[in-house]
Structure 1
Amino acid sequence: MDTSLDEIDLRLLDALQADARLPQSALGARVGLSTAAVNRRLKRLTEAGIILGSTLSLAPELLGRPVRVIAQLAVESEQLDKLDAVRASLVERPEVQQCYYVAGEWDFVLILLVRDMAEYTKLTRQLFFGNDNIRRFSTQVVMDAAKVGLTVPLR
């Protein structure tokens, strides 16, 4: 699959990252293409795996999840089956917003959204203390989310 991008592709992707709800007709007007041409390009970008999906950003503090926590985990064993089991236990939880398997001192870095510290404490007991393969963990509570996003720089 061809993954080379021209300037129109980049402009389409920029527009979609800013607002994924834009109709294809509005996208076409922004980049000088017909709706059908926009449709073809978006289909190609999706089939190439460049567009993974679209999401909606919500305000967690207005939806009962005002506390953002960053947790770092170290595992006892990095055997693939044990790592996969840890990963599966983490990603199935709706409180876990992001989960990264990383190199370095820690094995996993998590971003979690919780109601309060009592909910986080309960979660640590279930996810961390309740898992024999979690050796230790560290917690940072976010005081201010200066920037939150998933946009990819395109230029």
Structure 2
Amino acid sequence: MAANSSPLDAFDLAILAILQRDNKIPQRTIGERVNLSAPAVQRRIRRMEEDGVIAANVAVVDPAQVGQPITIFVAVEMESERADLIDAAKRQFAATPEVQQCYYVTGEADFLLVLLVPTMAAYEALTRKLFFTNNNVKKFKTFVAMDRVKTGLEVPLG
């Protein structure tokens, strides 16, 4: 939330809980559920969008239905943690479409990546591009998901 943004109240949290499950629900229906008028709901949603609380309105796509059935988690350990080299890795990971999520973390690894690929051959090609050609990658460890049990699309609100 931006420094100049309004604090979230119980109405905002209730609206967010509904929108996280389905952001196509009419504002009138949201208003009925949280006991506000549709215009009040609209103003609150607009404010939360402007403040960055609502970061995007997107469609959640099943990767397998669009030819990306393999989810891979990769722990990446860097050779050097110089700021310029870490920033370069962040830019490369962020610019790679197969990288769905990228976290700069503490612990044994420096980055945790979540990737989507159509085949293991595609993953092998991606490892060459992201890891083997990068002199700052010391090592990486791969974990292949066997089942998507929960993807965590809802932020816990409280």
- TM-score when normalising by structure 1: 0.94
The correspondence for 2:90, drawn from 87, 91, 94, is: 87
> Where in structure 1 are there 5+ consecutive unaligned residues?
none
Distance in 2 (CA, whole Å) between partners of 1:62 and 1:45 is 32
Deviation at 1:2, TM superposition (A): 4.2
**CA offsets 1:55-106 (integer angstroms, 9 cap, x no match):** 2111111110000000010111111111111111111111111000000000
Deviation at 1:22, TM superposition (A): 1.8
> Where in structure 2 are there 5+ consecutive unaligned residues?
none
- The residue number in structure 2 matching 1:33 is 36
- The residue number in structure 1 matching 2:140 is 137
Distance in 2 (CA, whole Å) between partners of 1:60 and 1:33 is 37
Whether the aligned pair in 2 keeps the contact of 1:69 and 1:142 (CA below 8 Å) is yes
1:44 to 2:47 alignment? yes
Deviation at 1:31, TM superposition (A): 1.5
Task: Say how many residue pairs are matched.
Answer: 155
**What pairs up with 1:1-150 in 2 under 5 angstroms?**
1-150=4-153
Q: Give the 3-state SS of the residue equivalent to 2:153 in structure 1.
A: coil
Give identity over the alignment, percent: 46
Which piece of structure 1 moves more, 47-56 or 123-132? 47-56
Aligned partner of 1:136: which letter?
K
Aligned partner of 1:45: which letter?
M
Q: Give the 3-state SS of the residue equivalent to 2:68 in structure 1.
A: coil
Whether the aligned pair in 2 keeps the contact of 1:3 and 1:50 (CA below 8 Å) is no
Distance in 2 (CA, whole Å) between partners of 1:66 and 1:33 is 42
Distance in 1 (CA, whole Å) between partners of 2:29 and 2:126 is 44
Q: Give the 3-state SS of the residue equivalent to 1:49 in structure 2.
A: coil
